[in-house]
Amino acid sequence: MKRLRGKVLILTYHRILSEKKSNKQFIQPGMYVQNNVFEKQMLFLEKYFSILSFTELLDLWNKKTLRKDQRYCVITFDDGWLDNYIYAYPILKEHNIPATIFLPTAFIGTNHWFWPDKISYIMMKQLNGVNLNGKIDSAIDAYKELPEEEIHGFIVEMSKNLSLDFPDKRVLINWDEVDEMSRHDIAFGSHSCTHKILTRLPVKERQKEIEESLYTLRQKNINYSPVFCYPNGNYNQEIINQVKAAGYRAAVSTRYGFEDGLPQDLFSLKRISIHNDITATIPLFAFHISGLNHISNITSS
């Protein structure tokens, strides 16, 4: 861990599921960490890192007061899943660990399902009993290349053909839960309004997604962090300029890596994605966040 001194790790989580949850088969493996695994990871980070809120990190960068003998970590969650509140929040609260959750603000408090989860659910029902390892990820990656209207058309057609109704249950947090977490060191950033891939939107629609989500966070009188998270990690220089103009202080990407000292660009910050498959034990977790796995992948290619 010596190589991480003076560096900042920004970790990305999505869902935190109960170790007893039985229906993980229709959830993408890269989308979750079990709650018992998550708690062990938090204890490890608490022991070896200075865990900062995003605002604290931005202030340290602004003042140029990051210490070279310290290891820094920021914990982030994408999408605002209800299980963040049920399973992650109690652990974070118990250990006084700050975190930032990036919200698609138009969906908070609704029964909205993201389309990849609908695809996963359809595949699980259609291919009941079939081993879906890798198949869900491949299908979702393929659909990401299509216009969103086509994707939703496919979902409607398939659910109709299968006489399939999606469960009418809330899978994202609501504003009351946001308010509660906001009082206990959990901050909230923007993941746009509706999680559409910004590089495919017209300029004005992009601007609306970027600006209105920040406006909503400010109006809710919560602990918000002026940081933007690009939906699906897709962005370009024009989008960066729009995010800056909207009043954000920084933006996070899906590029793998850690930040060394003061970043050259605060609007394409690197992160390390954490999921159960590759970080289920502390040695695996430590190896993954060290960056050594990335080096070994490069040297072996």
Give the length of the chain.
Answer: 301
Q: So what's the pLDDT on residue 13?
A: 98
CB 81 within 8 A of CB 15: yes
Look at residue 20 in the predicted model and tell me its pLDDT. Answer: 78
CA distances to 24, 36, 76, 256, 301 from 20, rounded to whole Å, are: 10, 10, 24, 30, 38
Whole-number pLDDT of residue 3:
73
Q: pTM of the entire structure? A: 0.92
What was the pLDDT predicted at 132? 64
- DSSP sequence for 30-99: GGEEEHHHHHHHHHHHHHHSEEE-HHHHHHHHHHT---TT--EEEEEEES-BHHIIIIIHHHHHHTT--E
pLDDT at position 298 is 32
Ranges of CATH 3.20.20.370 domains, the chain: 2-111+170-300
pLDDT at residue 25, rounded to an integer: 57
Q: What is the pLDDT of residue 39?
A: 98
Class for domain 2-111+170-300, per CATH?
alpha beta
List the chain residues with pLDDT less than 70: 1, 21-26, 129-133, 293-301
The model's pLDDT over 225-241, given as tens digits with 9 standing for 90+, comes to: 999 999 999 999 999 99
Torsion of CA 145, 246, 112, 134, to 10 degrees: 40
